[in-house]
Amino acid sequence: MEWTRYPEYNPFSVRAALARRLSLRPDQILLAGGSNVLLYMTGLAVVAPGDPVVVTPPTFGLFELIGRFFGARLVPVDQKPGFAYDAERLIASARKARLTLLCSPNNPVGHIIPLETLETLLKETRGLVLWDEAYAEFCGRTALPLLEKYPHLLILRNVFEGVRTGRSAAGLSHRAPRTGCRIQQGEHSVQRRPFQ
């Protein structure tokens, strides 16, 4: 492609290749120039002022910023000493949340939220759950198999976080097609509330 051209938006050939690699369908994948962009798009699609958004400090700083940017009511579920997750509190808070933002392995502390906790949480809430596994390559566990079962799960992957090459990382979102379309179209929750 010539450098004077805009790259194709959400290119099918790349999505098809990634889908093959990850055993997903191309329509489950949404691409953007960095998962920061996908986080912003998610906030835009689902968060209206005053909506409860769960975060688990200390965690990836952008989660809180996205919540504040869209006027959410942040619900912090602090980790316990030693960075253990308070699964009970987390699930209870997620139950009432519009959006729950989780990072595993967690940036900056590297702790892991068990997939069993994620699945229980998904059963208990109708809000969107964003599971950021930018560092999945370092822990060998992924929530990808849960995608088929839970349409309100959105997984962020970072194509190059495992082999970081400067700023060239790309965000990768695997999601139920319905959810992704709404995020892609930037549908704002003030007009329509796709979740809950």
Ligand X SMILES: Cc1ncc(COP(=O)(O)O)c(C=O)c1O
The C-alpha angle 128, 172, 124, rounded to 5 degrees, equals 20
| Interface with ligand X, residue 131, by CB under 6 A | no
Per CB under 6 A, the list member of 43, 67, 127, 171 interacting with ligand X is 171
Beta carbon of residue 115, minimum distance to ligand X (angstroms, whole number): 17
Count of residues in contact with ligand X, rule CB under 6 A: 11
Per CB under 6 A, the list member of 132, 144, 147, 153 interacting with ligand X is 132
Per CB under 6 A, the list member of 35, 93, 100, 104 interacting with ligand X is 35
Beta carbon of residue 190, minimum distance to ligand X (angstroms, whole number): 26
| Interface with ligand X, residue 117, by CB under 6 A | no
| Interface with ligand X, residue 65, by CB under 6 A | no
Beta carbon of residue 179, minimum distance to ligand X (angstroms, whole number): 18
According to DSSP, the β-strands at 29-32 and 171-175 are antiparallel
Beta carbon of residue 39, minimum distance to ligand X (angstroms, whole number): 7
The residues, ordered by sequence, that sit 6+ positions from 78 with a Cβ below 8 Å of its Cβ are 56, 57, 86
Closest chain position to ligand X (CB): 34
| Interface with ligand X, residue 173, by CB under 6 A | no
For ligand X, which is the closer residue by CB, 36 or 196?
36
State the SS3 of the chain.
Answer: CCCCCCCCCCCHHHHHHHHHHHCCCHHHEEEECCHHHHHHHHHHHHCCCCCEEEECCCCCHHHHHHHHHCCCEEEECCCCHHHCCCHHHHHHHHHCCCEEEEECCCCCCCCCCCHHHHHHHHHHCCCEEEEECCCHHHCCCCCHHHCCCCCCEEEEEECCHHHCCCCCCCEEEEECHHHHHHHHCCCCCCCCCCCC
| Interface with ligand X, residue 29, by CB under 6 A | no
Per CB under 6 A, the list member of 169, 175, 183, 189 interacting with ligand X is 169
Per CB under 6 A, the list member of 60, 70, 85, 131 interacting with ligand X is 60
**Contacts with ligand X, residue ranges (CB under 6 A):** 34-36, 60, 103, 107, 132, 134, 158, 169, 171
